[in-house]
Amino acid sequence: MQEVLALLPSTISERILSLPQDVLDTTEEIRVRTNRVLEVTARGKPYFLSYTVKPEDSEQLINKLSHHSFYTLEEELKRGYITIDGGHRVGLAGKVILDAGRVKGIRHLASFNIRIARQKIGIASPLMPYVFDGDWKHTMIIGSPQTGKTTLLRDLARIISTGDLEKNIPPYKVGIVDERSEIAGCVNGVPQLLFGPRVDVLDACPKAEGMMMLIRSMSPDVLIIDEIGRAEDGQAIQEAVNAGITLIMTTHGASLSEVKKRPVISEIIAMQSIERYIELKRDNHPGQVSKVWNEHGQSLLNKVSVT
């Protein structure tokens, strides 16, 4: 949180620090909206602070994000978010500028969503018996927003890269395609979070193109990708599987039965390459696993706690 608090105007950071410690420790998002009350989300619950964000607060925040040079944010404004030190991501909303029908940038920024990147070391360890059996299994993690999909994916990448000698798991080469700069939280291409020695990251790169780039240039053993769902994602996944590379991915949905209704996901499932499906649910902490299925649709467990 220190990187985030240093970014915020004192009028806002002081009010956030007045929150109970258990809220601060579990804060997931800070919403700064011009002329509206300050909002903090912790464990999925919104807290509205008795402070209305002033235009000068937003201006100070923009100046700190851009280091007082708004034009340095040109590429980030096209994407709609900025990644800051610590791997935290700041989502942006305001007046969209179009060029030939495509987003050129955002001006008159009025809404900021600061998503706190919290790395939970060991959160994926209880899943090892289900996703590693002499080799890593092609795995799809399924969950609704804020169920901890990316948190779990991040820790799996760390474990795969580091290995576990006690469990006879060697370190593997890991390639991460981090399209939204959310898995590794790179700043200037350098991951801000702990991943171990054998991780290579393509930051802010479209998933389908990034998978092919990593296969050609970095020869990964395992590819890590977040939020699949587009037609080109399915094609790239098939290419990676045919190249003998293990894929661990996330997708948005409440359950396996629900994601099967999405055309692209149903096509990926129909390839019969995915060997494990992990369903997450919202609980007292991110990464709560409710079910694990194998490639034959058989349930491997009813519930496992990954705290």
Residue 75 pLDDT grade (very low, low, confident, very high; cuts 50, 70, 90)? confident
Considering only 94-108, 172-186, 231-245, which range has the smallest mean pLDDT? 94-108
Q: Which two tokens stand for residue 109?
A: 């920024």
Residue 120 has pLDDT above 50, yes or no: yes
**Do 144 and 91 belong together in one domain?**
no
H or E segment and range at residue 228: none
Q: Tell me what pLDDT residue 307 has.
A: 43
**Do 189 and 160 belong together in one domain?**
yes
Question: The CATH number of the domain where 273 resides is what?
Answer: 3.40.50.300
The domain boundary, picked from 54, 86, 115, lies at: 115
Share of the chain above pLDDT 90, in %: 59
pLDDT 10s digits, 201-226: 999 899 999 999 999 999 999 999 99
Of 259, 267, 262, residue with least CA distance to 241: 267
Instruction: Tell me the mean pLDDT in the region 122-130.
Output: 91
Q: Which two tokens stand for residue 30?
A: 């800070």
The domain boundary, picked from 115, 150, 182, lies at: 115
Q: Tell me what pLDDT residue 266 has.
A: 93
Residue 302 pLDDT grade (very low, low, confident, very high; cuts 50, 70, 90)? low
Domain count, the chain: 2
Share of the chain above pLDDT 70, in %: 95
Residues 6+ apart with CB under 8 A from 72: 66
Q: Tell me what pLDDT residue 160 has.
A: 97
Residues 6+ apart with CB under 8 A from 28: 41, 42, 43, 44, 115, 116, 118, 146
Q: Is residue 307 part of a domain?
A: no
List the domain range (segments joined by +) for residue 282. 125-301
**Do 252 and 169 belong together in one domain?**
yes
Question: The CATH number of the domain where 83 resides is what?
Answer: 3.30.450
Q: Which amino acid is at 124?
A: A
